[in-house]
Amino acid sequence: MNAALLSLKNISMEYSNFIAVDDLNLDIKKGEFISLMGPSGCGKSTTLRMMAGLDNPTSGALYLDGESQLEVPTEKRGMPMVWQNFALFPFLNVQKNIEFPLKMQGVPSEARSKKAAEWIERMGLTEFAKRNISQLSGGQRQRVALARALVTEPRILLLDEPLSALDSHLRIKMQTELVRLHKELGITFIYVTHSQSEAFTMSDRVVIMNQGKVQQIGTPKQIYRAPNNAFVAEFIGMNNLIPGAVLRLEDKTAEIRTDLGIFKARSFVGAQKDTPSKLVIAADCIHLDGSGEQKISGKISGEEFVGSVITLFIELKNGQEFKVQKQQHEVESLNLKYGADLTLSWNAENAFLLAS
């Protein structure tokens, strides 16, 4: 299973005044759920549109099963897309929307309605089959859009921020449905999102992009625990970064000198003495009871609750902000006060250096 189903080679998309996608290489395996993620304008949607054949790259090559695709127009490429705004046909009812791609393939009307009926039932749309699109809720439209894209039984489904138009509880429900659908069909899902939680909960692999370039490709765990570079570490959100320079190198560890002191951490490939680098500590690897070997002190400047998880914001001596993530009950027992001094600590094996 290591042969690529879809392969992007040196793909670039240049406009007159900026480069949307810059020399992108990506191999997508058969049956995987892969997410393209990054801040808006990072080129993730353009990449998806190029896979679909809606935009043509200015250079590079695209292969499906080893066959070049760039000459193939979108209608012949067989990579249906689920659109951010669903792009359903407002003048057709639910059933006719789902039949549309079959009609374009010239499938006779009887076979068409039979096939559409299967998908209507599968997506739980039976009672809405004859409804107009304007009479449907957001979640129902989403299901019609999925059915319409899947009715031709494609090998690859492209999804362009499909959940961003839904409200938050529906979004979580649809995430489970997408994962179930992916498992049942066994086809490749290529998913574009700016939401970390969507990408990390659903995907087998995640591609982090910034300014048209791939920053890291890996499983959610790899990206979370071992970001490639400072951009990824920062983008993923719950990391603390302290800038400094390498002081001493050992086998796999190094010491870094920062204006908050000297710290020990895992080193990176190609590290040399005096190279500017950043110390990265994940927010949930920090202890509040002083049990870690590396220590730093600061004042509590704020807190934020999400569910049972609490994020503490600590202002360090040099004014930098540090994030600490803990379970709520752990923090409650410490009886912390706003503005109180606090010692943060972590173990050297949980911290690592990145080139900056």
Partner 1 sequence: MNNYSDNLVLSKNISTKPSIKVRKGRWFPAALALPPLLWQFMFFVLPMFFLLALTFWEVKSYKPVPAFVMDNWIRILGSSSFQKALAYTIQMSTLSSIITIIIALPAACILAFRINKKHQPILIALLVVPVFTSYVLRTYAWQVVLSPQGLINWVFSHLGVTSIDMLGGAFALQIGYLTLCLPVVVLILTFSLLGVDRSQLEAASNLGCRPHQVFWHVLLPSIRNGILLAVTTVFMLTFSDYIAPLLLSGSNPPTLSILIVDTIKSGAQWPRAAVIGIVMMLFIGLVLWLSQLLSSKEKR
Partner 2 sequence: MQARCIYFLERLYLLIIFGFIATPITMIVLFSFNKDRFPGFPWSGFSLRWYEAILNEPMVIESAINSITVGLSTALGATIIGFLAAYVDYRYKFRGKTALNLIVAIPPAIPPTVMGIALLAFFARIGLFGELKAIAIAHIAIASSFAMALISLRLKELDTSIESAAWNLGASRLQGIVFVILPHCRTAILAAFFLSFAVSFDEFMIAWFVGGLNETLPVRILNLLQGQVSPRINAIGTLVFALTFSLVASTLWLMKKKQPTT
Choice between 156 and 281, CB closer to partner 2:
156
- Quote the CA–CA distance of 326 and 329 in Å, as a whole number: 8
**Dihedral over Cα of 101, 103, 107, 109: its sign:** positive
- Per DSSP, the residues of 314-328 read EEETTS-EEEEEEEH
Let me know the angle formed at the C-alpha of 210 by 316 and 66, rounded to the nearest 5 degrees. Answer: 145
Q: Which stretch binds partner 2 (CB under 8 A): 147-155, 186-194, 219-227, 240-248?
A: 147-155
The helix/strand count (H/E) of the chain reads as 10, 19
Kindly report the backbone phi and psi dihedral angles of residue 160, in degrees, each rounded to the nearest multiple of 5, phi listed first: -105, 100
Pick one of partner 1, partner 2, none as the site partner of residue 60 (Cβ within 5 to 8 A by kind). partner 1
Does residue number 54 form part of the binding site for partner 2 (CB under 8 A)? yes
19, 92, 166, 185: residue in contact with partner 1 (rule CB under 8 A): 185
Q: Are 157 and 149 in contact (CB under 8 A)?
A: yes
Of the CA atoms within 13 Å of residue 177, those in its CB half-sphere come to 17
Query: Nearest to residue 116, comparing CAs of 129, 134, 132?
Result: 129
- Closest contact distance (angstroms) between CB of 29 and partner 1 is 10
Does residue number 146 form part of the binding site for partner 2 (CB under 8 A)? no
22, 29, 56, 132: residue in contact with partner 2 (rule CB under 8 A): 132
**How do 81-82 and 33-37 pair as beta strands?**
unpaired
Count of residues interacting with partner 1 (CB under 8 A): 28
85, 109, 327, 328: residue in contact with partner 2 (rule CB under 8 A): 85
Q: Which stretch binds partner 2 (CB under 8 A): 59-67, 71-79, 119-127, 166-174?
A: 71-79
Does residue number 187 form part of the binding site for partner 1 (CB under 8 A)? yes
- Closest contact distance (angstroms) between CB of 174 and partner 1 is 20
Please, what's the b/e burial string for 82-92 (b: 16 or more CB within 10 A of its CB; e: otherwise)?
bebebebeeee
- Quote the CA–CA distance of 310 and 325 in Å, as a whole number: 6
Pick one of partner 2, partner 1, none as the site partner of residue 291 (Cβ within 5 to 8 A by kind). none
Does residue number 92 form part of the binding site for partner 2 (CB under 8 A)? yes
10, 68, 105, 137: residue in contact with partner 2 (rule CB under 8 A): 105
- Quote the CA–CA distance of 74 and 81 in Å, as a whole number: 10
Query: Nearest to residue 140, comparing CAs of 91, 86, 192?
Result: 86
Does residue number 104 form part of the binding site for partner 2 (CB under 8 A)? yes
DSSP code of 132?
B
Please, what's the b/e burial string for 34-58 (b: 16 or more CB within 10 A of its CB; e: otherwise)?
bbbbbeeebbbbbbbbbbbbbbebe
Does residue number 167 form part of the binding site for partner 1 (CB under 8 A)? no
42, 79, 202, 285: residue in contact with partner 2 (rule CB under 8 A): 79
Q: Which stretch binds partner 1 (CB under 8 A): 106-114, 185-193, 218-226, 264-272?
A: 185-193
- Closest contact distance (angstroms) between CB of 149 and partner 1 is 14
Strand partners, 305: 310
Choice between 8 and 280, CB closer to partner 2:
8
Does residue number 217 form part of the binding site for partner 1 (CB under 8 A)? no
Does residue number 292 form part of the binding site for partner 2 (CB under 8 A)? no
Q: For the chain, first and last CA: distance in Å?
A: 35
Does residue number 334 form part of the binding site for partner 2 (CB under 8 A)? no
184, 250, 274, 289: residue in contact with partner 1 (rule CB under 8 A): 184
170: three-class secondary structure by DSSP: helix
Does residue number 83 form part of the binding site for partner 2 (CB under 8 A)? yes
Choice between 59 and 219, CB closer to partner 1:
59
Q: Which stretch binds partner 2 (CB under 8 A): 15-23, 82-90, 243-251, 329-337?
A: 82-90
Question: Could you list the residues that contact partner 1 (CB under 8 A)?
Answer: 1, 3-5, 7, 9-10, 30, 56-61, 63, 65-66, 68, 70-71, 73, 122, 153, 155, 184-187
